[in-house]
Amino acid sequence: MTRRDVFEYALLRVVPRVERGECFNAGVLVYCRAHSFVAARTYLDEAKLKALDPDADVAGVRAALRAVEGVCGGGAEAGQAAGDDAGRRFRWLIAPRSTVVQPGAVHSGLTTDPAGEVERLLDLLVR
pLDDT 10s digits, 24-56: 999 999 999 999 999 999 999 999 999 999 999
Please state the pTM of the whole predicted model: 0.91
Calculate Rg over the CA atoms of the chain: 15
Return the domain boundaries, the chain.
Answer: 5-125
What is the reported pLDDT for 21?
A: 86
The size of the chain, in residues, is: 127
Span 91-110, average pLDDT: 93
Which amino acid is it at 38? V
Q: For residue 34, what is the enclosing H or E element?
A: none
Rounded distance between C-alpha atoms, residue 118 and residue 9, angstroms: 9
Residue 57 has pLDDT above 80, yes or no: yes
Burial of 121 (0-12, 13-18, 19+ CB in 10 A): buried
- Residue-level pLDDT at 81: 81
Split at pLDDT 50, 70, 90, the class of 90 is very high
pLDDT greater than 80 at residue 9: yes
